[in-house]
Amino acid sequence: MSSPNDIKNGTVVRYEGDLWVVVSFQRVAPGKGSSFVRTRMKNIQTGKVVENNFKSAETLEFEEVSYLKMQYLFSDGQTYTFMDNHTYEQVEISKDMIEEVIPYFKEGLEVTISMHDGRALAVALPKKIEYTVASAPPAVKGDTASGNVTKEAIMDNGLKVQVPIFIKDGERILVNTETGAYSERVNS
Amino acid sequence: MKALAVIRFFFTQRGFTEIEVPLLVASPDSDPSLSPLEVRLRAFGSSALITSPEYSMKKLLGKGMEKIFYLGKVFRDEETWNETHISEFTMLEWYETGIDYRAGMEQTRALVLAVAEALQVTHHPLLEVWEMKRIEDLFVERLGVDRIGERSRDELFTEASRLGVHTDASDTWSDLFYRLYLFGIEPNLSREKATVLYDYPLPQAALARPCPGGVYAERFELFSGTLELCNAFTELTDAVVQRSRFEAERRECIRLGKPVFPIDEELLCLLPSVPNPTFGNGLGVDRLLMTLLGGSSIEDILLFPPSHLFGNL
């Protein structure tokens, strides 16, 4: 038995008879009283996503999961293939299981794969990933006057990010993968 | 004039006195949902950094001060840091005797507008009309649950299961209330608007003065989108109720295996001298600046973000 406080992305929970993998979680606390862990989890059979709020003091049943550091190799559009850099072993995950994180993938990206019962179930991204800006059109005059201090930029892997208006093509930036937000410019 | 200077100007111009409070105390806030940052002192032993200046400020009210504000750091030993929670942050807390939470809402709005103007923010939901929502009405609107404040714990279990909301046998009335709130109220707050939620059921506002009827209490929270900015009360000044609240909190801390600090007896002594009504509000300054400036994380507005001080979080 485990505590909701130990939930991580990729944790596999047995809940109401089914197995669910945690997609994202956030601690929330009211002004007074118990704190909760807001948990989005995906059914590993059906792919259905639900959100549950677990109280910190509850007990949950976690399944044993091993976490492997792997590198993203390629995709055929339906499955995504990763490789263990030490053993060269490859695993595949279907698109449905990892939809939320796919936009962040780029060749060679190091991720953490949750393995349960011989099956790869989830991909945890690094908290921040570096990308090169492929296209960041100059800000339009008047943007800042209307309260806009950001503009949309496209990264070299196709990811779209709101960036500060001073960011230019070819610059490298860090993106926060939990929020999808621009984090900082990388100075070379 | 920049944000902190504007806040100070706003209050001093209105006759408030800025006060300092001790940050290092023997009796920090005993709320079991808060984790004070413990500090071991060679001369004294166990102590903690304040999670809010509330206790010291209420003592000053009990000693006769009428309009006071604190603008400074408070500390909470959060389990994780994220875009809206860090362990050291800037709190604005103010109290004024003789006014209730209605007048307090007006005051809060005037303050927010003054800060926005100083930052030259011209477009923001906080500058538009704030949506005013009574908690009781929202539960009807969003969840089909009427008379939330009068419902028993068992009735809330039934409502939760009707709505497919996960519950646990150990849930208290407040836990069930908050589960329903997280399910149907908070996620549906308009992203494009500022909302004031007010009149919370008594168990959710044990330190606020009860509304006429005694089922709800005079508490409000201001949200920018879904971001909570402040928590305000017409303060309860009943020392007997306060003591039983402290004792319940101590029992809960013991049950949860959290550190237990001594009850602040001086506060209980002075509380009956705090006039009724007294309005009090605690506002997260970092969050206010972050939302006004369009940031997505508190880190965006700090000169020394924790991720730089403590490494990549």
Domains of chain B, first to last:
3-130+235-309 (3.30.930.10)
**Secondary structure in 3-state letters for B93-127:** EEEEECCCHHHHHHHHHHHHHHHHHHCCCCCCHHH
CB atoms B31 and A178 under 8 Å = no
- The answer to whether the Cβ–Cβ distance between B312 and A35 falls below 8 Å is no
Task: Tell which of A27, A32, A144, A179 to mutate to test the B interface (max B CBs under 10 Å).
Answer: A32
Categorize the per-residue pLDDT at A24 as very low, low, confident or very high, splitting at 50, 70 and 90.
confident
Three-state secondary structure call for residue B177: helix
CA distances from A46 to A35, A50, A54, A124, B53 (A): 30, 11, 22, 20, 50
Per-residue burial over B268-293, b if 16 or more Cβ lie within 10 Å, else e, is: eebbeebeebbbbbbbbbbbbbbbbb
Q: State which residue of chain B sits closest to A8, comparing Cα positions.
A: B80
In terms of DSSP H, where are the helices of B181-263? 239-255
pLDDT tens for residues B124-177?
A: 999 999 999 999 999 999 999 999 999 999 999 999 999 999 999 989 898 999
Closest residue of chain B to A147, computed from CA coordinates: B123
From its phi and psi, is residue B164 left (phi > 0), alpha (psi between -120 and 50) or beta? left
Would the pLDDT of A145 be above 70? no
- Res. A188: pLDDT tops 80: no
Judged on CB neighbours under 10 Å (0-12, 13-18, 19+), B215 is middle
The reported pLDDT for the residue numbered A99 is: 87
pLDDT digits (tens, 9 = 90+) for B216-272: 999 999 999 999 999 999 998 888 888 888 888 888 788 777 888 889 999 999 999
Check pLDDT > 60 for residue B100: yes
Interval A95-100 mean pLDDT: 87
Nearest to A33 among B174, B296, B312 (CB): B174
Instruction: Note the pLDDT of residue A96.
Output: 86
Query: B25 and B47 in contact (C-beta within 8 Å)?
Result: yes
Give CA angle at B144 (B139, B149), nearest 5°. Answer: 45
Q: State which residue of chain B sits closest to A179, comparing Cα positions.
A: B296
How many CB pairs (< 8 A) connect A and B?
A: 80
- Distance (Å, whole) CA A28 – CA A97: 25
All residues at 6 or more sequence positions from B168 whose CB lies less than 8 Å from its CB, including other chains: A54, A55, A57, A58, B175
Give chain A's contact residues with B (Cβ, < 8 Å): 5, 26-36, 38, 52-55, 57-58, 127-128, 145-150, 176, 178-179, 181
pLDDT at A140: 67
Position A172 scores a pLDDT of: 95
Domain A66-124 identical in fold to domain A128-186:
yes
Question: For chain B, what is the mean pLDDT?
Answer: 92
Tell me whether 0.90 is exceeded by the ipTM: no
| Dist. CA B229–CA B238, nearest whole Å | 27
Topology annotation, domain A66-124: OB fold (Dihydrolipoamide Acetyltransferase, E2P) (2.40.50)
A4-62 classified as CATH 3.20.20.330: no
- At A109-125, the pLDDT tens digits run 999 999 998 889 889 99
Q: Where are the domains of chain A?
A: 4-62, 66-124, 128-186
Q: What residues in B contact A145, CB-CB < 8 Å?
A: 122
CATH fold, domain A128-186, is: OB fold (Dihydrolipoamide Acetyltransferase, E2P) (2.40.50)
Q: What pTM was computed for the model?
A: 0.84
pLDDT band at residue A32, thresholds of 50, 70 and 90? low
Predicted confidence (pLDDT) per residue in B40-69, tens digit: 999 999 999 999 999 999 999 999 999 999
